[in-house]
Amino acid sequence: MTRTGHAPDRLGTHRSPHRVRGEFGWCGAPRAGPVTGWEEPFWYQMEAFVRPMVRAGSTINVLISGGAHRPAATRWSGREGADVRGRTEVEGNLNHGGEAAAAAPRSPLARVFDDALVTAGARADVGDRVAAFVDVARRYQEPGRHFHTLRHVAEMSAALRVLLAAEYRPPTERAAHACVLAVYFHDAVYESRLADNEQRSAELAIDVLARLGCPAAIGAAVARLVLATASHRSARPDEALVNDADLRVLARPPAAYDRYVRRVRREYGWVGEQAWREGRAPVLRGLLDGPVYATAWARRSWEPLARLNLARELHALG
């Protein structure tokens, strides 16, 4: 199997014979030029989703959705000649395995979520675990989301892996997977008009993890980590990991940081410009008032650029 061209901006849908429907949306503009560094999750997500079905000889139906920024050539080809071009919706007719194979997580995000559940002690069967991921994924595709999407989950997951690898004293395996689950749940409930999104997300995490048979201690740990992202103040090492991963976007190159700001602004489109400036400025000052990051590695590697970006945005607000 080979791939050519530029990264698509949206991975659409996957349907198993059990009508389990996973919607893995990327909610972002496609990128011109070669795919490097931060954009790799887009390739990884789409390719890893399509590759197993092509190898297994499954039928892949590709529906092209419209869009002014359609890449000229984006293709995965294999024995079945499956092609993926531009902005797509992908439906896989999984003809090749039993029920377990059909229900097994297929995307990288789904597999990481499932691995974390199993390591955390979930006793539910694979179908229930997949259904839980599908529900979480759909939440990140709700109308009105422009930054707090699955793109953010993927980027935050990548940042968390970096931070876990850099830790001198990494957490236990189960504690690390609680951090992973917190990444998935931390913005599962998001409505820019509400002030208690993190509380609602934490409650959702406790409910879902309990239904999946995870120990109560895991649900409580994940909820605590989710709640910590409300203020980004870290009282424990695991909170520092999750919070720093959440704030990774602040240390992106200026153009990427500006895209992040525009996307957040769109989520607050109901707020007038003056009110936006008056509300955003204190947030930026709060981040600049002390270290942005809590882990030693993030302070060394991300802090300088994050502070430049934050100060630049604050200056632009006037």
Name the β-bridge partners of 59: 93
Taking residue 195's Cβ as centre, other Cβ atoms within 10 Å add up to: 8
Give per-residue pLDDT as tens, 130-174. Answer: 999 999 999 999 999 999 999 999 999 999 999 999 987 878 888
Residues 193, 185: Cα–Cα separation, whole Å: 19
Query: Which domains are assigned to the chain?
Result: 2-97 (no CATH), 105-246 (1.10.3210), 250-318 (no CATH)
Rounded to 5 degrees, φ, ψ at 23 are -115, 110
Mean pLDDT across 278-302: 97
pLDDT above 60: residue 269: yes
* pLDDT, tens digit, 9 for 90 and up, residues 176-195: 999 999 999 999 999 999 99
What is the spatial distance between Cα 70 and Cα 66, in angstroms, rounded to a whole number?
8
Q: Say how many C-beta atoms besides its own lie within 10 A of residue 21's C-beta.
A: 14
Summarize the confidence of residues 232-260 as an average pLDDT.
Answer: 97
Question: If 0-12 CB within 10 Å is exposed, 13-18 middle and 19+ buried, where does residue 240 land?
Answer: buried
Instruction: Give the torsion through C-alpha atoms of 90, 93, 97, 100, to 10 deg.
Output: 60
Return the percentage of the chain with pLDDT > 70, whole number. 67
Per-residue pLDDT at 170 = 76
Whether 259 has a pLDDT exceeding 90, the answer reads yes
What mean pLDDT value characterizes the chain?
76
- Is residue 69 scored above 50 in pLDDT? no
- pLDDT at position 64 is 29
Which pLDDT belongs to residue 105? 64
**How high is the pLDDT of residue 169?**
80
Asked if residue 287 lies in contact with residue 249, where contact means CB atoms within 8 angstroms, the answer is: no
d(CA 13, CA 85): 14
Rounded to an integer, what distance in angstroms lies between the CA atom of residue 190 and that of residue 148? 8
Predicted confidence at residue 97, as pLDDT, reads: 36
Can you spell out the DSSP letters for 110-146? HHHHHHHHHHTT--S-HHHHHHHHHHHHHHTTSTT-S
Angle formed at CA 157 by CA 151 and CA 158, multiple of 5 degrees: 95
Percent pLDDT > 90 in the chain is 64
pLDDT of 59 > 90? The answer is no
Q: Which residue has the higher pLDDT, 93 or 262?
A: 262
pLDDT of 292 over the 70 cut: yes
**Can you tell me the mean pLDDT for 45-59?**
39
- What tens digit of pLDDT does each residue of 100-130 get? 444 566 789 999 999 999 999 999 999 999 9
- The Cα 227–Cα 220 span in angstroms is 11
